[in-house]
Amino acid sequence: MLARPYDRGMRHREETTWNIRIEASAEFDADYEGELDGYVWREGLFREVQRRAAAAVLRELAASRGWRVRTGNRGLPSTDELLIHIELDPGAEDLSRDS
């Protein structure tokens, strides 16, 4: 295979990640049989927390000047992972490193 000539038009890209991990738990009496009630605490109460947390994070990121925000998917259900891409908008006016 021949090496491709250096593309002078290539742009440099830098990436970083930051994870927010929320772990939920619930304790019940010894006779609790969660599979019989469909794990109501998880499918009801915790899913509501997930929706509210995701909405709050997306709302705050969308309000951050100079960033483009979009969600993504790595093949996991949205109940297991929320992937958010933010990209610095070089065209945004008055970007400050101190913000």
Kind plus residue range of the DSSP H or E element containing 26: none
The chain-wide mean pLDDT, for the chain, equals: 85
pLDDT in tens, 41-81: 888 999 999 999 999 999 999 999 999 999 998 899 988 99
pLDDT band of residue 30 (cuts 50, 70, 90) is confident
